[in-house]
A and B are shown apart, each in its own frame.
Chain A
Amino acid sequence: MLRRWRERVNLTDIVMFIIGASILALALTGTVLNILHPKFTEQQWWSFVVDGLTLGSIYALIALGYTLVYGILRMINFAHSEVFMSGPFTAYFLADWMASTGFLEENLLVGLLAIFALAMTISTIVAVLLERIAYRPLRFAPRLVPLITAIGASFFLQYFFKGLYGPNIKVYPEITALRTVVEIGAIRIRYLQIFVIVAALLMMAGLQLFVMYTRTGKAMRAVAEDKETAALMGIDIDRIIVITFVLGGALAGAAGVLFGLTFKQVKFDMGFIPGIKAFTAAVLGGIGNVVGAMVGGMFLGVTESIGPSLFLDPLGVPSPGQLKDAIAFTLLVLVLIFRPSGILGERLAEKKA
């Protein structure tokens, strides 16, 4: 009897189940306690959600870079967080100069467009150079080799930009026109947040249309499906991979500017934490899946924003805000354990390993 039971159920599965179940139980207890003893007002909850969606749309834009590259090369581009950093870090100087001359406030649209254009260009250049120098020669290497290269490239880029622009925090200019607050019922939302969410959604929609309906987009999907067959069909694999890095880089650069406008500061290591979280978002939605990255990003942003107050605060955890990042990492571990194919990503599941 016992032996038969042991053959069916694995010890490691039990341990994993216990870990997952206890974390879920903790989260549920917190939520229930919260409902029984309401501590925050409705307005506060809505502001958590809005903050979470703002953050989540930035994560989603970065996550798209991970997802696109993973879909085609089957590797995590560890240096993507530095692609994200390089653009806005460089564009800061333009933004600062335009703000100091008053140009930015007078011609808001032109100014913002210029900042975005510069940041996206720089990020794209970094991404393409990265592919050309570090990844292309190793395309057929054992998995560990490009992974280590990516980590090395990530460190190099981080400290390269530190050496170039200095180790200090650069403060992005405050744009007065975007500070206005609108109230919709109990929801208070700033123009800036609307701008970030709408801009991110527009870009994501654009990407989705590009991938689904253009010739190049179709080629990208073909390469993601099967490189060799795609090559036999006359698709230039190298070109598609470069385009993938261009798209990922441009989106990351735009995300970086949105990040800079929202949190007002950029620094050489600003990419590290958002990078890991965006990766989490990509995995959460199902890596290799464009819509999944958006859903995953929003989900992670909101969870991270309301999590400390929803799960941890009622359990008596002191200063739960400190554990915001821990929630995101725990979520990553949980998803990888229980649903490695992500929320929407059935298609690539078997190719994961």
Chain B
Amino acid sequence: MKPSVNRLLPLQIGLLGGIIAVLIGWQGMIVAFSTRDIIGNVISMGHTLLFITIFATGYIAITHSHVTRSVDQLIAGGSAGLVASALIVVSVWLGNVLPLGAMLVNAVPQLYELLTFKQGLVMGSVWLLVIGLVLGSLAALALILPAKIRQPIINALVVLIALGVLQDLVTVTLSNFDFLTPIVRFFYAANGLSLLGAIILFLGFAGGSYLWSTYSKNLQSRIDRLPPTRRRTLRWGTSLLIVLILLFLPSLVGLYLSEVIDNVGLYLLMGLGLNIVVGFAGLLDLGYVAFFAIGAYTVGFLTSPELGRAALMDNWWPALPFGVAMAAFAGILLGIPVLKMRGDYLAIVTLGFGEIIRLLALSDLLKPYFGGAQGTRSIPYPNIGPFQISWHPQEFYYLFLAGCLFAIFISTRVKNSRVGRAWMALREDEDVAQAMGIDLVATKLMAFAMGASFGGLAGAIFSSKLTAIYPHSFNFMISINVVSLIIIGGMGSIPGVVVGALALVGLPELLREMAEFRFLIYGIVLVVMMLTRPEGLVPEARRALELEEFKEESAAESASGEEAVVLETPGQQ
């Protein structure tokens, strides 16, 4: 059946896009992002965001209205873009008449200046409308172009925006190498890319992408044709390169980025632990921060000399196994009461558990042991024997690296073991798993204990890195962060956890303007991810299969729904 063409749909989508654009402005994003230029003095990040929103509105309007003729596509895209920008114009005029600033904190004059391109109210509105029309039509043009040309252009634009957005990362990293300085100076202006550099980069990447799409199959087949020995060398070479990069990463990237990488490592470690509970066994734990806190506080309790007594241990290393073991024990202790709970109930009880731990750490009741609101301080650095080195983020990197590699090793080994397969059976269907002879109690407790122990390890390292721990470092947000990263990476997928940690922890640290909108964006990403790609960015094969089944089922469901509608129509006539 050919979907019918709805003439009004582009306008409706344009209206929706306009509302979203106005709300993005009222969230303060456009103003916050306007300080960073993508291309120096030409276009800022804030305007890029605005333009992408309008462009996407046009694009969605065209694809959803199922028009096929080029003229129709141009009309659909252009009208959607025009409507969206008209709505922004309305918001600007409204902001000039009404004292919206009293209610909406981000409806500031600066926003209107940015939205009207500093051209004044009337000229700015005209500009906005023209840009809306042009961007909507460009979306149509992008769809009309053959994929072979469209894809390289989009790729090059994405790379350009990424290079502009991540300018600090690129310039700081490259500034470690003296011989690259002139190149960096050429491509980057004081703020953003230089205009000439941007044009060259765009052409370069578009051309490169075009060539790649034409010849990459060729290259792949040439690799496939290599004799096995040569192929093995190639593989070993790549692995060696990765190992070398991992080993020398901190000295390559400098202090600031090492700190960022440490943070990624911390969350990666926690993510790997929670991945066992949520990803492998399918038990949604929203109180994972509790185990992180228990690991940290156990180490603090054992090694801190500031709790009104001499420290029980004066080195960090002997305390480490206690931290991990206490966390694992807490995992079992929490696991027992929730054995019979599933899904929602489990989520909320674990959430409550995480809060109880934080409240206890904060309370005066346990102040003699954990320091209450003042926290536990003077936790020693992880020195080995007589080697006293100064512990900077660059040195801690190796500790995180070791921890993560260890966790990845354990995770991969366990995943394909008997226990791992039992977890996956549990995730798919608990009752069937039990009927197949899987011991639910042992299997579940194993998952909780193992997941918790990784969290404890992360907490132990964290306590030493900061040398002081406070209850407020262990709030609910950490649990949400960890849950989000494994879901976005792909539940149960170990490469997914790495990708998730890089995307959710690394990116916001590099983009300080984004930090304010971090949880807003997490929320959107989680919802959109569940609606469109519930298996995650790097899906795990079996999990993807499980979700595929659901898609087929719901497709069948909606198909039967349509049938019902068809059956009803004769009665109405």
The judgment on whether A and B are partners is: yes
Interface residues of A (CB under 8 A from B): 10, 12, 15-16, 19, 75-76, 78, 93, 133-134, 137-149, 151-160, 162-166, 272, 276, 279-280, 283, 317-319, 322-323, 325-326, 329-330, 332-333, 336-337, 340, 352-353
Q: Is the interface of B mostly helix, strand, loop or mixed?
A: helix
Q: Can you offer 25 A-B residue contacts whose CB atoms are under 8 A?
A: A10-B441, A12-B336, A133-B527, A138-B530, A142-B546, A142-B547, A143-B344, A147-B343, A149-B527, A151-B480, A154-B523, A155-B519, A155-B522, A156-B524, A163-B26, A276-B351, A279-B348, A319-B363, A329-B352, A329-B355, A329-B356, A329-B359, A336-B338, A336-B341, A340-B340
Contact assessment for A333 and B353 in the assembled complex, using a CB-CB cutoff below 8 Å: yes
- Would you give the 0/1 interface string for B312-351, flagging 1 where the beta carbon is closer than 8 Å to chain A? 0000000000000000000000001111111111011101
Contact assessment for B352 and A322 in the assembled complex, using a CB-CB cutoff below 8 Å: no
Contact assessment for A149 and B531 in the assembled complex, using a CB-CB cutoff below 8 Å: yes
B484 contact set on A, CB distance < 8 A: 152
Contact assessment for A144 and B356 in the assembled complex, using a CB-CB cutoff below 8 Å: no
Contact assessment for A325 and B527 in the assembled complex, using a CB-CB cutoff below 8 Å: no
Contact assessment for B336 and A317 in the assembled complex, using a CB-CB cutoff below 8 Å: no
B554 contact set on A, CB distance < 8 A: 139-141
Contact assessment for B106 and A322 in the assembled complex, using a CB-CB cutoff below 8 Å: no
Contact assessment for A159 and B519 in the assembled complex, using a CB-CB cutoff below 8 Å: yes
State A153–B102 Cα separation when bound (angstroms): 26
Contact assessment for B359 and A323 in the assembled complex, using a CB-CB cutoff below 8 Å: yes
Residue B103 lies at the interface, judged by CB distance under 8 Å to chain A: yes
| Known contacts A155-B526, A336-B341; A142 and B347 CB within 8 A of each other | no
A283 contact set on B, CB distance < 8 A: 345
Contact assessment for B26 and A164 in the assembled complex, using a CB-CB cutoff below 8 Å: yes
- Would you give the 0/1 interface string for B501-520, flagging 1 where the beta carbon is closer than 8 Å to chain A? 00000000000000001011
Residue B562 lies at the interface, judged by CB distance under 8 Å to chain A: no
Contact assessment for B520 and A160 in the assembled complex, using a CB-CB cutoff below 8 Å: yes
A78 contact set on B, CB distance < 8 A: 347
Residue B161 lies at the interface, judged by CB distance under 8 Å to chain A: no
| Known contacts A152-B527, A329-B352; A76 and B359 CB within 8 A of each other | no
B103 contact set on A, CB distance < 8 A: 93, 165
Q: Which of A143, A154, A329 has the most CB of B within 10 A?
A: A329
Q: With contacts A152-B524, A160-B27 known, what are 18 further pairs, Cβ within 8 A?
A: A75-B344, A76-B345, A93-B103, A138-B531, A143-B342, A144-B282, A152-B523, A152-B530, A156-B527, A160-B523, A272-B476, A276-B352, A283-B345, A319-B363, A322-B363, A325-B359, A336-B349, A352-B345
Residue B168 lies at the interface, judged by CB distance under 8 Å to chain A: no
| Known contacts A16-B337, A322-B362; A163 and B27 CB within 8 A of each other | yes
Residue B538 lies at the interface, judged by CB distance under 8 Å to chain A: no
Contact assessment for A322 and B359 in the assembled complex, using a CB-CB cutoff below 8 Å: yes
B549 to chain A, nearest CB (A): 9
Contact assessment for B337 and A140 in the assembled complex, using a CB-CB cutoff below 8 Å: no
State A142–B344 Cα separation when bound (angstroms): 12
Residue of A nearest to B527 (CB): A152
A156 contact set on B, CB distance < 8 A: 520, 522-524, 526-527
Contact assessment for A159 and B531 in the assembled complex, using a CB-CB cutoff below 8 Å: no
Q: Which of A75, A144, A337 has the most CB of B within 10 A?
A: A144
A347 to chain B, nearest CB (A): 17
Residue of B nearest to A231 (CB): B564
Q: Tell which of B102, B343, B526 touches A143, judged by Cβ atoms closer than 8 Å.
A: B343
Contact assessment for B526 and A152 in the assembled complex, using a CB-CB cutoff below 8 Å: yes
State A158–B336 Cα separation when bound (angstroms): 33
Q: How many positions in chain B have a CB within 8 Å of any CB in the partner chain?
A: 63
Contact assessment for A318 and B365 in the assembled complex, using a CB-CB cutoff below 8 Å: yes
State A352–B345 Cα separation when bound (angstroms): 9
State A323–B348 Cα separation when bound (angstroms): 19
Residue B550 lies at the interface, judged by CB distance under 8 Å to chain A: yes
A75 contact set on B, CB distance < 8 A: 344
Contact assessment for A326 and B26 in the assembled complex, using a CB-CB cutoff below 8 Å: no
B267 to chain A, nearest CB (A): 17
State A52–B271 Cα separation when bound (angstroms): 40
B111 to chain A, nearest CB (A): 12
B284 to chain A, nearest CB (A): 6
B104 contact set on A, CB distance < 8 A: 164-165
A329 contact set on B, CB distance < 8 A: 352-353, 355-356, 359
B561 to chain A, nearest CB (A): 10
Contact assessment for B530 and A148 in the assembled complex, using a CB-CB cutoff below 8 Å: yes
- Give me the 8 closest cross-chain CB pairs, A-B, nearest first: A152-B526, A156-B523, A166-B105, A155-B523, A163-B27, A329-B352, A159-B520, A76-B344
B128 to chain A, nearest CB (A): 22
Q: Tell which of B348, B351, B520, B550 touches A142, judged by Cβ atoms closer than 8 Å.
A: B550
Residue B28 lies at the interface, judged by CB distance under 8 Å to chain A: yes
| Known contacts A152-B525, A159-B523, A332-B348; A140 and B553 CB within 8 A of each other | yes
Q: Tell which of A144, A280, A352 touches B284, judged by Cβ atoms closer than 8 Å.
A: A144
Residue of A nearest to B491 (CB): A144
A325 contact set on B, CB distance < 8 A: 355, 359
Contact assessment for A148 and B526 in the assembled complex, using a CB-CB cutoff below 8 Å: yes
Residue of B nearest to A142 (CB): B550
A154 contact set on B, CB distance < 8 A: 523
B356 contact set on A, CB distance < 8 A: 326, 329-330
Q: Which of A12, A134, A163 has the most CB of B within 10 A?
A: A163
A133 contact set on B, CB distance < 8 A: 527
A165 to chain B, nearest CB (A): 6
A272 contact set on B, CB distance < 8 A: 476
B351 contact set on A, CB distance < 8 A: 276
State A329–B351 Cα separation when bound (angstroms): 9
